[in-house]
Amino acid sequence: MDMASRESYVDSGENAIPDLTQWTVCVRIRFFHLARLNTIFSYTTGEHYQEIMLGIDWPQSNLRLECCKYTGFMEMAVPLRLYTWHQICLSADMTKDVQYMIFDDLVNEALIRRPGVTREQLNKVRGGGRFLVGQNYNPAADLMFTEAIHGDLADFRFYDIALSPEDMREFASCNVTFDLPSPMYVFDINMTNLELSGDSKLYRTSIENICSKGPDLVMIIPERINFVKALVMCSLFTGSIVVPTYDEENTAIYDKFDDFNNHCADSWGTAFWFGLTANLTSGWWTRVSDGKPLTWNKFAIGWGDPSEEHRCMAAAAVNTRYVWAASPCDIHQCPICNFTTTPRLHMRGLCKLSKFDRYYSPFDYSNMKPVLEGTFLSRISWVNNTWLIKSRLEKGVEARMSLRSPDDYPLGLHTWEVVGDTCRLDQVQLLLTSCSATDFTCSDGSCIKKTKRCDQEVDCPDNTDELNCDLILLPKGYSKEIAPPAVESPLLSLHISLDITSIREFDILGFMLAVDIIQSIRWRDARLVLMNLRQGNFPNEAKSFDKLWLPDILVKDGTYSPTDLQMRRVRLLVRRDADPLPDDDSNYSEDELYRGVNSTVKLVQQYTVTLMCQFQLQAYPFDSQRCSLVYSIPDQAVGNILLLQEEVKFTGERRLLEYELVNETLTAHGNMSAAVQVDSHYE
């Protein structure tokens, strides 16, 4: 179905059922897309809306029953999977308190009555109404896209009795030999008592096909590529190249993709890659997915041994079906990918109100390419030599990918030309990724751990993990001339600490002292947004900060005279003090963002300061001397900024030629909150 429809359902017509004190609904269902309410069965009388409504709420993934003019209610959480057959049964005996709801092998036993409702009030389903299968029916309102089903329904049954839990388990387990009672309504080839509406289509399938445990988690990449590229392509979809483990699985996989045989076949005589590589030391084959040796095979006679030339494994094509053959790794054929669960691809970069889906999964093929179905109302497919995102709800809403090469896939970062979307951008960059929340997506779609992002080592095949590594984002209107607003206090707090690393010069005759100092000042700037912060004690260093507000600290000697300060190194470090902001997928970037108000910035300046010191030489050479440095903020900042002393330490050699540094202290300077003083004592 190319376009979504609200007119697609199965209709019972009027006066479908009489008053019932017992009833059961069973169905087998496979969803292709999801809606807010995926209505399985909706029965309504003329005056009573929601006499029976059985559906699955999304994204809660709850199987829900509304009954009897809202007086009855049941629900259970269910592991709903797209493109997978599920077996659902619900039975109700209104003369009893407990009813049963089954989803596959899960059983929910619960009271159907809402709180405050008595058995006398909830004693039957009223007859004379009409039911729809696949759409929510309200006679007083229009049918809605958001309450319809897009998928396959099979083996629908409505009973005028309450099946036992044992009977429902037999239905859910696909036990075709079990003799169930005759239903009141059932799907049959002629739809004798039911009518198809809209785009609904009737087709035959077998219970064996529905209940098969066959390879529903495999897909083919219909591209003739070498083995290394095949591994990469499967990994981009979170899969690995398949290796059949028993004869029936091998046959089912081959038959499923038999239509691609001619398209994928190489001149070598094989068509599909299998996920095996040669271990020439052991002379056997190793599974790429887990590194374990092959335990089952179907080698063609004479083609099972690994060799220097034949290091890979493929499925034979036309002449011999279902058998495997050792092959070179550089031939070109199609990989068959295997998954542990249905791949879920996340589209990032769409605006909040975009009409396109944000999540897609591969299902089916078109024009010899995979089709990626959106969770709700859009799909990505290959149309007119490019990839196209198209809305199933509104004609004319689409986005066309700009190809970098003819064999491009939409995974990774690409530019799209957009028509008809609410984002009001004609061209956007979108990232389609299969990576987890703890991963970073390279522009080619491959995944690396976020801890490797901007670590000054290239990890992405396209080097994109080391691009755009600025630590600090400045908001619009930010000014380096204006100090940050205060955080949790009336004044902006600057915390200063000093590390005296050496006494570079002690000139007793010239009354001069030269000292090497590492000065650290900490503060918070609530205006900033920080990116990709690592945990630890200031492990994050900004590469550039020339546009950032930095504290202006004046350094004077003990007589308030200017000092001579020679800057040797300046660094800006950031400490992460809180968790990142919630992810915003309207930004294609997966960078983790942190609020400046919850992050500490530290300016580290390494310099040599030369100051005058009024030495007292009356008792020389048995004298002791004290020298001071006063750190303060400019007068215009007084009243807005608070300079707080942290610590001073000396990490150099205390013994000088004639003197020894005895101690050093850092204190507030007088009654001023805008200055601190460091005193050094020499003997």
| CATH number reported for the structural domain that contains residue 593 in this entry | 2.70.170.10
Predicted confidence (pLDDT) at residue 466 exceeds the cutoff of 70: yes
Q: Say if CB 438 and CB 449 are below 8 A apart.
A: yes
Kindly state whether residue 661 falls inside one of the protein's structural domains.
yes
Statement to judge: residues 83 and 138 lie in one domain: yes
CATH number for the domain harbouring residue 328: 3.10.100.10
**Residue 618 banded pLDDT, cuts 50, 70, 90:** very low
pLDDT attached to residue 151 = 92
Q: Say if CB 42 and CB 49 are below 8 A apart.
A: no
The CA distance from 387 to 382, in Å, is 5
Higher pLDDT, 627 or 270: 270
624-637 in b/e form (b: 16+ CB < 10 A) is ebebbbbbbbeeeb
Statement to judge: residues 204 and 273 lie in one domain: no
Statement to judge: residues 157 and 73 lie in one domain: yes
Domain end marker among 268, 303, 338:
338
Q: Tens of pLDDT along 407-430?
A: 999 999 999 999 999 988 899 999
Predicted confidence (pLDDT) at residue 216 exceeds the cutoff of 80: no
Predicted confidence (pLDDT) at residue 152 exceeds the cutoff of 70: yes
Statement to judge: residues 330 and 396 lie in one domain: no
Q: Tens of pLDDT along 240-262?
A: 999 999 999 999 999 999 999 99
Phi-psi group of 560: left, alpha or beta (phi > 0 → left; psi -120 to 50 → alpha; rest → beta)? left
Q: Tens of pLDDT along 333-381?
A: 999 999 988 899 999 999 999 999 999 999 999 999 999 999 998 999 9
Predicted confidence (pLDDT) at residue 150 exceeds the cutoff of 50: yes
User: Residue for token digits 């036309």?
Assistant: 318
Statement to judge: residues 417 and 334 lie in one domain: no
State the pTM of this model: 0.84
Kindly state whether residue 440 falls inside one of the protein's structural domains.
no
Statement to judge: residues 354 and 497 lie in one domain: no
Kindly state whether residue 417 falls inside one of the protein's structural domains.
yes
Higher pLDDT, 646 or 401: 401
**Residue 80 banded pLDDT, cuts 50, 70, 90:** very high
pLDDT attached to residue 622 = 46
Predicted confidence (pLDDT) at residue 659 exceeds the cutoff of 80: no
Statement to judge: residues 100 and 172 lie in one domain: yes
Mean pLDDT of 371-396: 94
Statement to judge: residues 296 and 370 lie in one domain: no
Beta bridge partners of 154: 28
Statement to judge: residues 302 and 356 lie in one domain: no
The CA distance from 636 to 580, in Å, is 35
Kindly state whether residue 353 falls inside one of the protein's structural domains.
yes
Statement to judge: residues 530 and 670 lie in one domain: yes
Mean pLDDT of 91-120: 88
Mean pLDDT of 609-623: 64
Question: 565: closest CA among 606, 604, 607, 603?
Answer: 607
Q: Percent of the chain beyond pLDDT 90? A: 63
The CA distance from 137 to 131, in Å, is 7
Domain end marker among 433, 451, 466:
433
Structural domain for 165, as ranges: 9-210
Q: Tens of pLDDT along 440-455?
A: 999 999 999 999 999 8
Kindly state whether residue 106 falls inside one of the protein's structural domains.
yes
Q: Say if CB 449 and CB 439 are below 8 A apart.
A: yes
Statement to judge: residues 184 and 283 lie in one domain: no
Statement to judge: residues 320 and 353 lie in one domain: no
Q: What is the largest CA-CA distance in the chain?
A: 121
Kindly state whether residue 316 falls inside one of the protein's structural domains.
yes
Average pLDDT, rounded, for the chain? 89
Between strands 130-133 and 9-11, the pairing is antiparallel
The CA distance from 262 to 317, in Å, is 8
**Residue 490 banded pLDDT, cuts 50, 70, 90:** confident
Kindly state whether residue 36 falls inside one of the protein's structural domains.
yes
Q: Say if CB 131 and CB 42 are below 8 A apart.
A: yes
Kindly state whether residue 459 falls inside one of the protein's structural domains.
no
Domain end marker among 322, 338, 354:
338
Indicate the number of domains in the chain: 4
Least confident of 109-118, 129-138, 240-249: 109-118
Q: Percent of the chain beyond pLDDT 70? A: 91
Predicted confidence (pLDDT) at residue 679 exceeds the cutoff of 60: no
- Length of the chain, in residues: 683
Higher pLDDT, 236 or 116: 236
Higher pLDDT, 368 or 635: 368
Q: How many CA atoms lie within 13 A of 94 on its CB side?
A: 23
